[in-house]
């Protein structure tokens, strides 16, 4: 009951009964103020002191309630004629300077989180939170200590691949991954071509990376890869010779992949049978002998393709392929690289961070003699000596009529590699976007200019960076010079 004679409401009685449940009965008036407001104010003061803030008290110069220097100010009386104590505005301080009563409403959660209630019903001081122990600062090295510890070398950060797997302003039309497998013949399973082939090696001063990937268009239509790739080593030791052959079948012909594979196998056999003399000519720098001999080997290979087309009742263009090759001697003292072939594609060199298109021009290539079956002339118009030194006899043609010489000019180039160069031989599927999209060339130049060649997986990812409008097979062989 209130000492002011007011009659509390049932809501307040229920709240206070819950708050002081089990407390002893009221013992009557006490010398100190003991109204409901006084009890609440005392509890509020205790909470404020526990929180670390100053308790509400009188203003400067006023006696404190219940102190030794004065008596407590009397509580305001009831409103005349109402029988209830006068109402104070919400938030207004009491006349004795203590905290005001909270406004009436739903009772707050009690005790508040983090506080406990003592046996007397009043809140106990909250338990302070446990803070993690501070981490001691790292010691600062000074003087001799600082000079004796050198900073760790910073490894170069590898340039990231394109965020969407392609360069250019628009994404490619087809999906980036294979969707449909080519149809298989149960009687011709040896004719199946895998979607991707990957190879690599290191000989002498050069490191080789080679990959052939089915194009986005062929993946979408379920067509086999028309590009073929052959990497082969003939001989051993410093006298070994590495051949990289890339062939591309004619688009839209049913046996295009087969023609490309046969072209690689036949040129590989011809080079393998003559590898010792070829390696000797490369080391000695006999450019004329190399050009004439490789010209004849290439023409014989493509002549066999035309003969195969005749056997199948096809036109010569229906069973044909482009053919481009690199010869790399294993001798570390020889930095001569030999390119030869017929048909479209690309030959590029990355030097000092910039691409150079070193593809032999058609006008230059047409200057040489076009050799077919039959007795070759003893000398070309350029003065290159034609001999039988490669051990390849020239019997009369076994096919009548004899196949015509290739319509495409024979392309030949020798180059001397420098330290840090990257030589790139590729099929039209990669050569065309390299010439047509500057962003692709800039991306590959950044990726391949850092020290050391990429690993096989990284090289494969680089060759698969796509460009809108270019969806053919891609075959690439790159040589990094140490």
At 249 the pLDDT is 96
| Nearest alpha-carbon partner for 72 in 95, 92, 52 | 95
| Nearest alpha-carbon partner for 422 in 400, 389, 445, 391 | 445
For 216-268, the pLDDT digits (tens) are: 999 999 999 999 999 999 999 999 999 999 999 999 888 999 999 999 999 99
Mean pLDDT of the chain: 74
What is the share, in percent, of the chain residues with pLDDT greater than 70? 54
Backbone phi, then psi, for 476, in 5-degree steps? Answer: -140, 140
- Least confident window among 181-185, 202-206, 402-406, 470-474: 402-406
At 368 the pLDDT is 39
Tell me what the mean pLDDT of segment 278-292 comes to. 95
- pLDDT value at 318 more than 70: yes
At 151 the pLDDT is 58
Q: How far apart are CA 476 and CA 414, in angstroms?
A: 19
pLDDT-derived band at 408, boundaries 50, 70, 90: confident
pLDDT-derived band at 443, boundaries 50, 70, 90: very high
For 133-143, the pLDDT digits (tens) are: 555 554 444 44
At 241 the pLDDT is 97
At 31 the pLDDT is 53
- pLDDT value at 126 more than 60: no
For residue 24 the two structure tokens come to: 């002893």
- pLDDT value at 94 more than 60: no
At 349 the pLDDT is 97
pLDDT-derived band at 475, boundaries 50, 70, 90: very high
pLDDT-derived band at 124, boundaries 50, 70, 90: low
Tell me what the mean pLDDT of segment 85-114 comes to. 53
Residues with Cβ < 8 Å from 244, sequence gap 6 or more? 208, 210, 229, 230, 231, 325, 326, 328, 425, 477
272 φ/ψ sector (left φ>0, alpha ψ -120 to 50, else beta)? alpha
Bond preceding residue 401 cis, omega within 30 of 0: yes
Tell me what the mean pLDDT of segment 444-452 comes to. 92
DSSP secondary-structure letter at 476?
Answer: E
- pLDDT value at 144 more than 60: no
pLDDT-derived band at 100, boundaries 50, 70, 90: low
pLDDT-derived band at 178, boundaries 50, 70, 90: confident
At 33 the pLDDT is 57
For 5-37, the pLDDT digits (tens) are: 555 555 555 654 554 455 445 445 555 555 666
C-alpha Rg value of the chain to the nearest Å? 46
What is the share, in percent, of the chain residues with pLDDT greater than 90? 46
For 320-374, the pLDDT digits (tens) are: 999 999 999 999 999 999 999 999 999 999 999 999 999 998 655 544 333 322 2
For 101-113, the pLDDT digits (tens) are: 555 555 555 555 5
At 198 the pLDDT is 97
Prediction pTM value: 0.60
Contact between 113 and 101 under an 8 Å Cβ cutoff? The reply is no
Residue-wise burial string across 452-482, b where 16 or more C-beta atoms lie within 10 A, e elsewhere: ebbeeeebbebbbbbbeebbbbbbbbbbbbe
Residues with Cβ < 8 Å from 136, sequence gap 6 or more? none
């Amino acid at each position: 009951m209130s000492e002011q004679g007011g009659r509390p409401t049932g809501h307040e009685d229920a709240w206070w009964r819950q708050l002081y449940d089990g407390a002893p009965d009221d013992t009557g008036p006490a010398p100190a103020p003991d109204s409901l407001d006084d009890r609440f104010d005392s509890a509020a003061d205790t909470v404020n002191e526990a929180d670390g803030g100053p308790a509400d008290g009188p203003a400067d110069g006023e006696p404190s309630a219940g102190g030794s220097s004065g008596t407590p100010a009397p509580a305001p009386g009831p409103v005349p004629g109402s029988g209830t104590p006068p109402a104070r505005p919400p938030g207004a301080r009491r006349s004795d300077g203590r905290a005001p009563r909270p406004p009436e409403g739903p009772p707050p959660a009690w005790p508040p989180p983090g506080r406990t209630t003592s046996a007397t019903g009043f809140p106990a001081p909250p338990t302070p939170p446990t803070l993690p122990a501070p981490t001691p600062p790292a010691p600062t090295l000074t003087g001799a200590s600082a000079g004796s510890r050198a900073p760790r070398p910073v490894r170069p950060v590898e340039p990231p691949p394109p965020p969407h797997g392609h360069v250019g302003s628009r994404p490619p039309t087809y999906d980036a991954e294979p969707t449909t497998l080519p149809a298989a013949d149960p009687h011709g399973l040896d004719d199946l071509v895998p979607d991707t082939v990957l190879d690599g090696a290191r000989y002498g001063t050069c490191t080789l990376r080679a990959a052939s990937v089915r194009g986005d268009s062929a993946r979408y239509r379920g067509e086999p890869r028309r590009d073929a790739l052959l990497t082969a080593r003939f001989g051993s030791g410093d006298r070994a010779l590495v051949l990289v052959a890339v062939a591309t079948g004619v688009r839209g012909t049913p046996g295009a992949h087969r023609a490309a594979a046969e072209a690689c196998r036949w040129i590989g056999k011809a080079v393998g049978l003559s590898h010792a003399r070829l390696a000797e000519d490369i080391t000695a720098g006999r450019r004329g002998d190399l050009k004439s001999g490789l010209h004849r080997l290439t023409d014989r290979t493509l002549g066999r393709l035309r003969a195969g087309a005749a056997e199948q009742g096809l036109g010569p263009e229906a069973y044909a392929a482009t053919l481009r090759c690199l010869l790399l001697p294993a001798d570390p003292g020889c930095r001569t690289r030999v390119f030869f072939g017929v048909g479209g594609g690309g030959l590029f060199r990355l030097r000092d961070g910039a691409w150079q298109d070193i593809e032999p021009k058609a006008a230059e290539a047409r200057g040489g003699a076009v050799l077919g079956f039959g007795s070759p002339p003893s000398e070309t118009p350029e003065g290159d000596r034609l001999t039988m030194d490669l051990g390849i006899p020239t019997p009369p043609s076994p096919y009548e009529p004899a196949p015509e010489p290739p319509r495409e000019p024979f392309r030949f180039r020798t180059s001397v590699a420098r330290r840090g160069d990257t030589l790139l031989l590729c099929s039209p599927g990669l050569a065309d976007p390299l010439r047509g999209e500057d962003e692709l060339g800039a991306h590959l130049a950044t990726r391949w200019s850092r020290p050391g060649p990429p690993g096989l997986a990284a090289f494969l990812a680089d060759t698969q960076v796509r460009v809108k409008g270019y969806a053919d097979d891609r075959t690439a062989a790159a040589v990094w010079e140490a």
